[in-house]
């Protein structure tokens, strides 16, 4: 019963929000209300292209229209029963109005189309690391220090023995054999406690920190899990294992302009929203009764069923519940009224 009532309340709020002067050819009449061709097309356009492709025949369009008719029937019946005056519907209406207000106040005025190309280029130059990144690799290594030829010969033999042992253990299913060996045998005091993990480094960064011999060996490895060595470096003899590589990123300014414009527009809308709210608060008398607020008992959400905060900032989440698919086939995508700047 509760679910049905919620559906009726939403249908009523939706109908009240959408009530307007009819424009264009009428495709259906429901009592005194009409559904126009523009209404139908607008709702179809809100669906995903994949779903929209279903409604390309008269029968399919009738099927879609039937859902809109059901919504209107429910809304009219709810209004006859006085649900338009219920606190739940008024709350839905308030949230819908907030979305519309923010959409028109910010989304439509601050699309980013007016951002000059020079400003986009300045942003690109100032955030170059976001658009140009070298290939990086996360590798593990085992260092056996050696300086003289004799020490290097001994270290090489030990490295070969360690590598053979690691391979044998990995074949038996010990996936962290290299790391556990590094913890016991590597003399690199910084990385040994972490299993020889050198984190993500570019070829140049790895060469500067550990020498070009190790860097070249690491970046010559192609597949995760591959190993190389023994490798002679200025520090001694080493073994190296590739964990993963990241692909190099090299996006030019022209390739990045659209994404930069979107990012700058989102940041600007966020700033404008904060300033707008600040002005609204300054022009409105607001008082809070801490004593009464303290008395409000907040029920804990059932485990595994986290809920949306009641006082959610409308710029950060979708404050209006979505109706069941059967009654509302065209679920609108999130707008900045519910999530500033989009995804």
Task: Give pLDDT, residue 250.
Answer: 85
Task: Give pLDDT, residue 173.
Answer: 93
Task: Give pLDDT, residue 165.
Answer: 94
- pTM of this structure: 0.49
Is 7's pLDDT higher than 70?
no
Q: How far is CA 245 from CA 49, 200, 224, in A?
A: 36, 8, 8
The domain ranges of the chain are: 132-249
Is 196's pLDDT higher than 90?
yes
DSSP sequence for 267-336: HHHHHHHHHHHHHHHHTS-----HHHHHHPPPPPPPTT-----TT--TTTS--SPPPPTTT---PPPP-T
Query: Average pLDDT, whole number, for the chain?
Result: 81
Mean pLDDT of 193-208: 92
Mean pLDDT of 104-119: 86
Task: Give pLDDT, residue 307.
Answer: 47
Q: What are phi and psi of 238, to 5 degrees?
A: -135, 155
In terms of pLDDT, which residue wins out, 314 or 95? 95
Mean pLDDT of 290-297: 85
Is 15's pLDDT higher than 70?
no
From the number of C-beta atoms within 10 Å of its C-beta (0-12, 13-18, 19+), residue 247 rates as exposed
Find, among 243, 238, 247, the residue nearest to 225 by Cα.
243
pLDDT digits (tens, 9 = 90+) for 174-192: 989 999 999 999 999 999 9
Model confidence at 281, pLDDT cuts 50, 70, 90, reads confident
Is 318's pLDDT higher than 50?
no
In terms of pLDDT, which residue wins out, 335 or 12? 12
Look-up: residue for tokens 């996936």? 175
Mean pLDDT of 16-44: 78
pLDDT digits (tens, 9 = 90+) for 202-229: 999 999 989 999 999 999 999 999 999 8
Q: Architecture of 132-249 per CATH?
A: Roll (3.10)
Task: Give pLDDT, residue 54.
Answer: 87
Task: Give yes or no for a contact between 224 and 246, defined as CB atoms under 8 angstroms apart.
Answer: no
pLDDT digits (tens, 9 = 90+) for 38-92: 888 888 888 888 888 888 888 888 888 888 899 889 888 988 899 888 888 888 8
Determine what percent of the chain falls in helix, strand and coil, rounding each to the nearest 5.
50, 15, 35
> In the chain, what percentage of residues exceed pLDDT 90?
37
In terms of pLDDT, which residue wins out, 325 or 108? 108
Compute the distance between CA of residue 67 and CA of residue 74 in angstroms, rounded to an integer. 11
Task: Give pLDDT, residue 27.
Answer: 86
Residue 205 tokens read as 């960064």
């Amino acid at each position: 019963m509760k679910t049905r009532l919620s559906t009726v309340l939403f249908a009523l709020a939706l109908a009240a929000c959408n009530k307007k002067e009819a424009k264009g050819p009428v495709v259906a009449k429901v009592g005194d209300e009409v559904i126009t061709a523009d209404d139908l097309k607008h709702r179809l356009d809100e669906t995903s292209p994949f779903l929209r492709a279903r409604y390309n025949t008269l029968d399919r369009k009738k099927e879609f229209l039937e859902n809109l008719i059901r919504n209107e029937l429910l809304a009219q019946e709810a209004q006859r029963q006085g649900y338009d005056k219920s606190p739940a519907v008024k709350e839905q209406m308030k949230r819908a109005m907030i979305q519309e207000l923010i959409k028109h106040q910010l989304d439509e005025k601050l699309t980013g189309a007016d951002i000059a190309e020079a400003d986009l280029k300045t942003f690109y130059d100032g955030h170059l690391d976001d658009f140009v990144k070298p290939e990086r690799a996360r590798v593990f290594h085992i260092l056996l220090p050696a300086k003289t030829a004799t020490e290097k010969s001994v270290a090489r033999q030990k490295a070969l023995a360690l590598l053979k042992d690691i391979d044998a253990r990995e074949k038996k299913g010990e996936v962290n054999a290299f790391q556990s060996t590094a913890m016991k045998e590597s003399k690199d005091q910084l990385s040994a406690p972490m299993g020889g993990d050198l984190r993500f480094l570019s070829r140049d960064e790895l060469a500067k920190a550990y020498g070009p011999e190790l860097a070249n060996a690491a970046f010559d490895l192609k597949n995760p899990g591959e190993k190389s060595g023994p490798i002679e470096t200025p520090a001694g003899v080493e073994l190296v294992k590739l964990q993963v590589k990241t692909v190099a990123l090299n996006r030019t300014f022209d390739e990045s302009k659209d994404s930069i414009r979107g990012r700058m527009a989102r940041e600007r809308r966020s700033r404008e929203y904060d300033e707008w709210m600040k002005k609204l608060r300054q022009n409105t008398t607001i008082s809070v009764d801490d004593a009464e607020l303290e008395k409000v008992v907040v029920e804990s959400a059932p485990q595994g069923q986290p809920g949306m905060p009641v006082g959610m900032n409308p710029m950060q989440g979708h404050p209006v519940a979505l109706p069941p698919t059967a009654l509302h086939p065209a679920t609108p995508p999130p707008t900045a009224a519910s999530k500033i700047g989009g995804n």
